[in-house]
């Protein structure tokens, strides 16, 4: 019986063919050669799989086109990003050089993790012709304060935006000073979620960048308590000034974004917010938000984060991964991704770098009435802070705002 | 009277929810009256559905076979023989249920990479044994306890070999334990998501890998169709296994 089992186990092991990894060094190859050597290969894309729009975009739109244009067989495997990194960490530990993943979808803390644990292939982004031609290199030097160093290529982005009810608010405040005036002039009409909430924290980080004397010192360097404390005085002052004029005199803050959204949908406050410039579209459609809801980004800056594609250290098909990522970054793939009927995700492309007809197509694309224009979003864009600011913000807010009478 | 109570409870808690699920799968999302087969169409439109279903069945089959082999032998030893350190062994067999499965998986993953089992179907079968074997051993142990030693002694006295005793006496009398183990281990194996993802590394895509990420989807018709498909598998497998059990000796004479 046992022998028989062993035979089966051996058979099953045998069935799994370990495909030959191409060990070619890509740094000396030009991109045409890379694309040629990627022909007739399989590329494994591992990504979070909980959104039908995203999955359909990859399976039904991207995969067939990659097959047709580059002879690449793209396989998407649904897996949580945390699990993917765990798998890579273990493989790194066990010294497994021939992995099963060629492309992963990461940003922020996960990227930082992957980079620190040396789970990534290395710098590849500047090899990609589409990145060099159509993207703004300066825009993607940092990912939540971690230097990208070309180890990930931007795939798309979201931005922080506020929503207001146009029936009640005529001219939404464009800066934090105007917001201060507005809050004072409209007592009880505004509040924000506590910074222990993801959105509340982002709102305060955005405010920190807008009110600090030297915002670049904050975004371009890793977290430093002293620097954070020095630059945040103006923000804490404003927040304390708002307090008596907030919803319920600032004695209560919504503990989550859904609580704030509920207050907004019941008409108790006139504004809400969120880390996705297109979010009000479906909330209006579902009848949660009033039809008169508008979305805006502030002149003083809108926090944005990009999400990226990267290659694990033990990918066995780097040329295939590069060709695929280059295609995902192409204007036509980005345009399709942006359609509300597909995924609806904002493009990471610098639109003015595109050929004119392509620019037109991007400009004519209707993302939905409430979504701010691409130009507007780009003007207001501010990069994210180091992930360590999240925790600092939560703790300091308690001391500076809640405990201050 | 009792039978009415049973049927009321059955209708309320089993039949009613399932019929809602069936209804939703044949109507458009969020509505129960607007007939549409889109949920099912989209389900079978998924590129990897049938492939993943096949993989799940094959893996489940091997998990069940291993469970029967290990469960029967370990259960028999624990029930009928006395040996040094029996209580310790008994406790050790339950340990996998008490330790967090993820911790075991992470530890085993490294070992599996070293011996080349990671990212293979065999590795997935192996890791699925961790949450199933303890149950099988328990079930068979109880089976053998109620069977008793005397039945086998009788066979021995009549001159049957160990194999013959196993085939003609133990298997037919342990039938209900075998049924429980087949059904239980298949269902457990089918629904493992995280450990399959880690050990299978995405190269082994089972139905759970495709299904679980969809649970949060807003398309309720698709989710309903998917859930029914998911529930159908153990049922089909059970029917198939039941057919095989008919091949046991003396089946028609066993009173059930």
Looking at chain A, the whole-number percentage of residues with pLDDT higher than 70 is 92
Give me the DSSP letters along A159-173: E-EEEEETTT-SS--
A328 lies in a domain? yes
A178: CATH: 3.40.190.10
Same-domain check for residues A94 and A219: no
A333 & A287 share domain: no
- A94 confidence band (pLDDT: 50, 70, 90): confident
Go through A95-119 and write b for each residue having 16 or more CB atoms within 10 A of its CB, e for each that does not: ebeebbbbbbbbbbbbbbbbbeeeb
Q: What residues of chain B score a pLDDT lower than 70?
A: 29-31, 47, 215-219, 250-256
Question: Which range marks the domain in which residue A288 is found?
Answer: 159-303+384-402
Q: Per-residue pLDDT for A6 more than 70?
A: no
Note the pLDDT of residue A13.
47
Query: Hey, is A11 helix, strand or coil?
Result: helix
Residue B248 at interface with chain A, using a CB cutoff of 8 Å? no
> Are A298 and A172 within one domain?
yes
- Same domain assignment for residues A202 and A350: no
pLDDT of residue A21: 39
* Residue corresponding to tokens 């308690």: A398
How high is the pLDDT of residue A7?
A: 52
Position A122 scores a pLDDT of 93
B106 touches chain A (CB under 8 A): yes
- Tell me whether residue A169 is in a domain: yes
Handedness of CA A225, A230, A234, A240 (dihedral sign): positive
Domain count, chain A: 2
Among A160-164, A191-195, B197-201, the least confident range: B197-201
Residue A16 covered by a domain: no
CA torsion, points A258, A260, A263, A266, in degrees to nearest 10?
-50
Distance from CA of A306 to the nearest CA of B (A): 23
Is B217–A51 a contact, with Cβ atoms under 8 angstroms apart?
yes
**For A77, which residue in chain B has the nearest alpha carbon?**
B202
Counting Cα atoms < 13 Å in the Cβ hemisphere of B172 gives: 17
Q: Does a structural domain hold residue A331?
A: yes
Tens of pLDDT along A33-87? Answer: 999 999 999 999 999 876 777 888 998 899 999 999 999 999 888 888 888 998 8
Average pLDDT, chain B: 87
- Position A18 scores a pLDDT of 39
Instruction: Please tell me whether residues A169 and A132 are part of one structural domain.
Output: no
Mean pLDDT of A206-221: 85
Query: Residue A58, CB half-sphere, CA atoms under 13 Å: how many?
Result: 25
- Interface probe for B, chosen from A100, A281, A286 (most Cβ of B below 10 Å), is A100
Is A9 contained in some domain?
no
Do A96 and A235 reside in the same domain of the chain? no
Instruction: Please judge whether A8 and B62 are an interchain contact, meaning their C-beta atoms are less than 8 angstroms apart.
Output: yes
Asked if the structure places residue A323 within a domain, the reply is yes
**pLDDT category, A23, cuts 50, 70, 90?**
very low
pLDDT mean over A371-395: 87
- Cβ-based contacts of A5 with chain B (< 8 Å): 65-66, 69
Q: In terms of domains, do A63 and A150 share one?
A: yes
The chain A residues in contact with chain B (CB within 8 A) are: 1-2, 5, 8-9, 12-13, 15-16, 44, 46, 48-52, 59, 77-80, 83, 86-87, 90-91, 93-94, 96, 99-101
Mean pLDDT of A243-255: 92
User: Are A105 and A50 part of one and the same domain?
Assistant: yes
Q: Which helix (H) or strand (E) holds B154?
A: helix B150-157
State residue A109's pLDDT score.
84
Does A12 have pLDDT greater than 60?
no
Distance, in Å, from the CA atom of B189 to the CA atom of B181, rounded to the nearest integer, reads: 12
Output b/e per residue, B116-141; b: 16+ Cβ within 10 A.
ebbbbbbbbbbbbbbbbbbbbbbbbb
Whether residue A11 is predicted with pLDDT greater than 70 in this model: the reply is no
Predicted pLDDT of residue A121: 95
Could A12 and B219 be called an inter-chain contact, meaning their C-beta atoms sit closer than 8 Å?
no
Under DSSP, is residue A157 helix (H, G, I), strand (E, B) or coil? strand
Same domain, A174 and A318: no
Number of neighbours of residue A393 by Cβ within 10 angstroms: 24
Q: Whose CA is closest to B63, among B134, B118, B124, B107?
A: B124
pLDDT score for B143? 94
**Are A283 and A365 contained in the same domain?**
no
Contact residues, chain B, for A46 at CB < 8 Å: 202
Average pLDDT over residues A90-118: 91
CB contact under 8 A, A49 and B213: yes
- CB contacts < 8 Å between A and B, how many? 84
Split at pLDDT 50, 70, 90, the class of A369 is confident
Q: Is residue A201 part of a domain?
A: yes
Q: With contacts defined as CB-CB under 8 Å, which chain A residues touch B203?
A: 16, 44, 100
Average pLDDT over residues A392-398: 93
Contact between chains at B114 and A59 (C-beta distance less than 8 A)? no
Mean pLDDT of chain A: 87
Q: Could you report the predicted ipTM of this complex, rounded to two decimals?
A: 0.71
Q: Residue A13, class by beta-carbon neighbours within 10 Å (0-12 exposed, 13-18 middle, 19+ buried)? A: middle
In a domain, A5, yes or no: no
């Amino acid at each position: 019986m046992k022998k028989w089992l062993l035979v089966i186990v051996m058979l099953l092991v045998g069935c799994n063919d370990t495909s030959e990894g191409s060990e070619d060094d890509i740094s000396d190859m030009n991109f045409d050669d890379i694309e040629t050597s990627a022909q007739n290969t399989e590329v494994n894309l591992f990504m979070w799989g909980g959104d039908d729009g995203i999955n359909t975009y990859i399976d039904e739109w991207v995969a067939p086109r990659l097959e047709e244009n580059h002879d690449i067989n793209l396989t998407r495997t649904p897996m949580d990003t945390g699990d993917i990194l765990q798998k890579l960490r273990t493989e790194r530990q066990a010294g497994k050089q021939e992995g099963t993943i060629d492309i992963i979808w990461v940003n922020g803390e996960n990227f930082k993790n992957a980079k620190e644990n040396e789970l990534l292939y290395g710098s590849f982004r500047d090899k990609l012709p589409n990145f060099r031609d159509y993207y703004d290199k300066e825009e993607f030097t940092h990912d939540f304060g971690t230097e990208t160093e070309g180890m990930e290529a931007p795939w798309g982005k979201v931005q922080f935006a506020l929503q207001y009810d146009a029936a009640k608010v005529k001219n939404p405040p464009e800066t934090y000073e105007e917001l201060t005036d507005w809050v004072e002039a409209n007592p009880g009409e505004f509040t924000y979620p506590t910074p222990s909430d993801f959105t509340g924290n982002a709102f305060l980080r955005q405010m920190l960048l807008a009110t600090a004397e030297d915002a670049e010192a904050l975004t371009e360097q890793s977290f430093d308590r002293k620097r954070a404390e020095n630059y945040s005085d103006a923000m804490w002052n404003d927040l304390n000034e708002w307090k008596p004029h907030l919803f319920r005199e600032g004695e209560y803050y919504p503990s989550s974004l859904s609580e704030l959204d509920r207050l907004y949908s019941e008409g108790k406050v006139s504004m809400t917010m969120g880390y996705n410039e297109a979010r009000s579209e479906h909330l209006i459609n579902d009848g949660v938000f009033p039809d008169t809801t508008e979305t805006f980004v502030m002149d003083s800056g809108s926090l944005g984060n990009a999400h990226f594609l990267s290659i694990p250290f033990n990918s066995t098909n780097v040329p295939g991964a590069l060709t695929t990522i280059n295609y995902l970054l192409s204007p036509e793939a980005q345009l399709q991704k942006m359609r509300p009927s597909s995924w609806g995700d904002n493009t990471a492309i610098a639109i003015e770098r595109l050929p004119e007809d392509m620019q037109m197509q991007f400009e004519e694309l209707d993302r939905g009435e409430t979504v701010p224009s691409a130009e507007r979003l780009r003007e207001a864009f501010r990069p994210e802070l180091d992930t360590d600011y999240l925790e600092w913000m939560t703790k300091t807010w308690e001391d500076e705002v809640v405990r201050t009478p | 009277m009792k039978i009415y109570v049973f049927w009321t409870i059955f209708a309320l808690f089993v039949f009613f929810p399932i019929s809602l699920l069936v209804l939703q799968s044949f109507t458009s999302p969020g509505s129960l009256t607007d007939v549409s087969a889109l949920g099912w169409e989209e389900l079978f439109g998924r590129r990897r559905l049938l492939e993943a279903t096949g993989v799940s069945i094959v893996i489940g089959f091997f998990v069940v076979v291993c469970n029967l082999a290990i469960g029967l032998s370990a259960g028999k030893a624990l029930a009928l023989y006395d040996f040094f350190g029996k209580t310790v062994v008994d406790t050790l067999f339950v340990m996998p249920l008490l330790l967090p499965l993820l911790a075991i998986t992470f530890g085993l993953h490294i070992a599996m990479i070293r011996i080349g089992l990671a990212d293979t179907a065999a590795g997935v079968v192996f890791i699925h044994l961790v949450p199933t074997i303890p149950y099988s051993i328990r079930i068979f142990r109880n089976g053998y306890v109620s069977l008793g030693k005397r039945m086998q002694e009788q066979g021995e006295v009549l001159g049957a070999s160990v194999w013959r005793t196993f085939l003609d006496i133990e298997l037919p009398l342990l039938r209900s334990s075998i049924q429980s183990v087949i059904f239980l281990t298949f269902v457990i194996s089918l629904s493992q998501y995280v450990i399959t993802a880690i050990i299978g590394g995405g190269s082994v895509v089972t139905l759970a890998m495709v299904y679980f990420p969809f649970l949060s989807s807003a398309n309720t018709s698709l989710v309903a169709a998917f859930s029914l498909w998911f529930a159908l598998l153990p049922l089909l497998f059970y029917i198939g296994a039941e057919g095989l059990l008919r091949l046991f000796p003396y089946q028609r004479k066993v009173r059930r």
